[in-house]
A and B are shown apart, each in its own frame.
Chain A
Amino acid sequence: MSAQSTPTFRAVSPVGTAIQRANSARKGALIGYLPVGFPNLAESIDAAVALVENGVDILELGLPYSDPVMDGPVIQKATQTSLDNGFRLSDAFTAVEAIRARVDAPILLMTYYNPVVQYGIDRFADDLVSAGGAGLITPDLTVDSGAHWIAASDRTGLDRVFLAAPTSTDERLRLAVDNSRGFVYVVSTMGVTGARGDVDAAARTLVERLRANGLAEGSPAASTTGACVGIGISTGDQVAEVLEYADGAIVGSALVRALADGGVSEVARVAAGLAVGTAR
């Protein structure tokens, strides 16, 4: 990757802009997760493109990692396949570049912390900017442990998504709101990723608490931060329900399962079904 050229600082959050656009045109944003390299690099790129072509506003690309403590069985299995196929970190930048060349949706990488640390936090940020990526979601890095990443993302203008959980104190919610750019990831339920029958009522409460702790009301301005709910969402109805109170709905396992079971055409079909839930 070309880390030599100084990347241009981004004053406007690409993710925040996409959320704002989705909120003014529709009920809110649909954010779709897929791991890089599953079932192989080429198909993972095609599948991500298909998501955007079928109504996904923002892509969340997972970096396969050997010890994914926040992931449930469906995503674990997919990321393990990618690792077994020889996934390398550089594949993530390749994927971001390839997808951005074909569709115009912001791409967040979802990554555990150690791969970023080993790559070099600043080098990672620079290469992500060069590839056209929007920022990072960091499931095992919280604001209080994230000074280095916060500095690197401030320098480059990358978006950074921290998580908020039902168990977070008000003080910690405020930290997440103040330090996230793009959106705060609202963990709907206490548990790992995976489709669930109902999206926990805890998500609505948590979004209300985030609003009470400084999160902008209604559709966020591009420079501020939205609240997007993830974990457990798998149907268009659930997307619609979540968008009653949140700025975006994040879907992971349901898409990964569709890709595993029926390839790119199936993941496209499932994405289109989910996108119905974003209609006003």
Chain B
Amino acid sequence: MSTESATHLRDESGPFFGEFGGRFMPESLIAALDEISAVYEEAKADPTFAAELAELHRTYTGRPSIITEAPRFGEYAGGARIILKREDLNHTGSHKINNVLGQALLARRLGKTRLIAETGAGQHGVATATAAALFGMSCVVYMGEVDTERQALNVARMRLLGAEVISVTTGTRTLKDALNEAFRDWVANVSDTHYVLGTVAGPHPFPVMVRDFHKIIGEEARAQVLELTGALPDAVVACVGGGSNAIGIFHAFLDDPDVRLYGYEAAGDGVETLRHAATITKGRPGVLHGSRSFMLQDADGQTLDSHSISAGLDYPGVGPEHAWLSSIGRATYLPITDAEAMNAFRILCQTEGIIPAIESAHALAGAIELGRELGPDATILVSLSGRGDKDVETAGRYFGVLDEAALAASALEQNALDANELTDGEAEAGELDHDAALTAAARQALDEASSRVDDLSAATGNGVER
């Protein structure tokens, strides 16, 4: 089992992973990236940094996250032994907090007082807003307009945490455009602002640094599975958007050649259609958001729209380390459609009593396929990257179990309540930093609620979607 390989894949630390990675960025940001690289190297060498982060994880994140066996789910996966790594149980509901706390500590070392972030599903935005509150920093989160609509609950969470959420209306109005907007903000405000990039993409050192902050997932899981089963798993699987939870759980296993690694990309309506986000499956190498990797693009190098039911996987790029692991054959990347993911979502809910994030449901669907292929003797470790609270509305509507009219009414009422509370709160705590943002938030909440009522009555008119 412990075949010693000559080179350690785990030691790869950029800026390039093979031909992928690098730093293709405006000169205005190079100094900031160099500063992050330098301060991050210092922090890595400083035991107090590791100790601080470990203490935060112990007392705030709730690490180590547990593993859970899923035998009833395993029946759907060819009887394979399915073990879930429960990143969904972390504070804020996903793996994203691992990276955010690391970067927030780093931002403090850098003397930065303002955090900005992009977010797709809202999980990274929520984690960043949380860290900003915890560290007493101000926070602005950029989110594509399309995503603010499908993940409205997370928008509210970020605002409750004191962050300003800016709805991005440029380009395709999704995650990639939120990254563009965050870079533009960073160029203009780099003196006091740290950009907490939320996945293992972007210019060096982000892919390496974000990976390092997430590799705790696999380190814990490797030891936990060994202790539980006495052996390493046969396969480790994860969903891949930008690829942070996947690299996090893969990394500790990179030099275990008998452990197969599978990343599942969002295939949306199917990779034979134009509506998917299967970057490695269907893309080709190019430069996007500061690094060279696979991306969905047309012949002229214009980035193509991606599509997925899952906002967190709806990204036309992927981290360069994944492009490299794919190119050397160490990891395999396969597409999972919306329908396959939602089927796995439902199965996990009803066999194990766990509601997964729709992103994570792609990994679960992959595990079902893989288990059927490998059979009942196989052990499969699954990255359950997040919980599905944020997706209840999407999933409820998908499965037709949402009482649409009641939801609309209660959303309107609740948002009106929120609006009042926030406005009152503002009057009392006159010195709160984010007053303006909060009132604006409240006002927008009301607007959103009323437009949602319109949407919903339209939806109920012709029955539930799908």
Contact = CB atoms under 8 A, between A and B. Distances in A.
Contact of B302 (A72, A83, A145): A83
Nearest to A68: B180
Q: Which 7 interchain pairs have the tightest Cβ spacing?
A: A118-B301, A167-B31, A191-B188, A165-B28, A115-B301, A114-B301, A163-B27
Interface in A173-215: 176, 187, 190-192
A69 B180 contact: yes
A113 B24 CA distance: 8
A164 interface: yes
B170 A172 contact: no
A164 B189 CA distance: 17
| Main SS at interface, chain B | mixed
Interface residues of B, number: 33
Instruction: Name the residue in B25, B288, B301, B303 with the highest tally of chain A Cβ atoms < 10 Å from its Cβ.
Output: B301
B434 interface: no
Interface string A144-167: 110000000000000000111111
Contacts of B191: 190
Interface string B175-186: 011001001100
Nearest to A76: B170
A115 B22 contact: no
A40 interface: no
Contact of A80 (B28, B32, B170): B170
Interface string B14-46: 000000001111111011100000000000000
A13 B225 CA distance: 64
Contacts of B31: 165, 167-169, 172
Given A67-B303, A80-B171, A176 B27 contact: yes
Interface in A51-81: 65-70, 72, 76, 80
Interface in B284-315: 286-290, 297, 299-303
Which of B27, B31, B176, B190 is the most central at the interface, judged by chain A CB atoms within 10 Å of its CB? B27
A190 B300 contact: no
A117 B286 CA distance: 7
B399 to A, nearest CB: 35
A165 B297 contact: no
A115 B27 CA distance: 19
B25 A66 contact: no
A167 B287 contact: no
Given A70-B28, A118-B301, A192-B187, 5 more contacts: A67-B289, A80-B171, A142-B30, A168-B27, A176-B27
A187 B188 CA distance: 12
Interface in A108-124: 113-119
Contacts of A89: 300-301
A162 B27 contact: yes
Nearest to A69: B183
A236 B300 CA distance: 37
A161 to B, nearest CB: 11
Interface of A: 65-70, 72, 76, 80, 83, 88-89, 113-119, 139-142, 144-145, 162-169, 172, 176, 187, 190-192
Contacts of B299: 118
A114 B188 contact: no
A144 B23 CA distance: 9
Contact of B287 (A80, A113, A168, A172): A113
A145 B27 contact: no
Most buried by A among B176, B189, B290, B302: B302
A83 to B, nearest CB: 7
Nearest to B289: A67
Interface string B139-173: 00000000000000000000000000000001100
B187 A114 contact: no
A191 B27 CA distance: 11
A76 B286 CA distance: 21
A176 B28 CA distance: 13
Given A66-B303, A67-B171, A83-B302, A140 B187 contact: no
Given A114-B287, A117-B287, A88 B300 contact: yes
A187 B300 contact: no
Contacts of A145: 22-24
A93 to B, nearest CB: 12
Given A66-B302, A67-B171, A115-B301, A172 B30 contact: yes
Contacts of B176: 67
B286 A190 contact: no
30 contacts: A65-B302, A66-B302, A66-B303, A67-B176, A67-B177, A67-B303, A68-B180, A69-B180, A69-B184, A83-B302, A113-B287, A114-B287, A115-B301, A116-B301, A139-B26, A140-B26, A140-B287, A141-B24, A142-B27, A142-B30, A163-B27, A163-B28, A164-B27, A165-B27, A166-B28, A167-B31, A172-B30, A190-B187, A190-B188, A190-B190
A164 B191 CA distance: 17
B27 A67 contact: no
Contacts of B30: 142, 165, 167-168, 172
B98 to A, nearest CB: 26
Contacts of A67: 171, 176-177, 180, 288-289, 303
B444 to A, nearest CB: 20
Nearest to A163: B27
B300 A115 contact: yes
Nearest to B170: A76
A113 B302 CA distance: 11
Given A145-B23, A190-B190, A191-B187, A114 B288 contact: yes
A118 B27 contact: no
A65 B303 CA distance: 8
Contacts of B289: 67, 69
Contacts of B22: 145
A172 B27 contact: yes
A165 B301 CA distance: 27
B25 to A, nearest CB: 6
Nearest to B304: A66
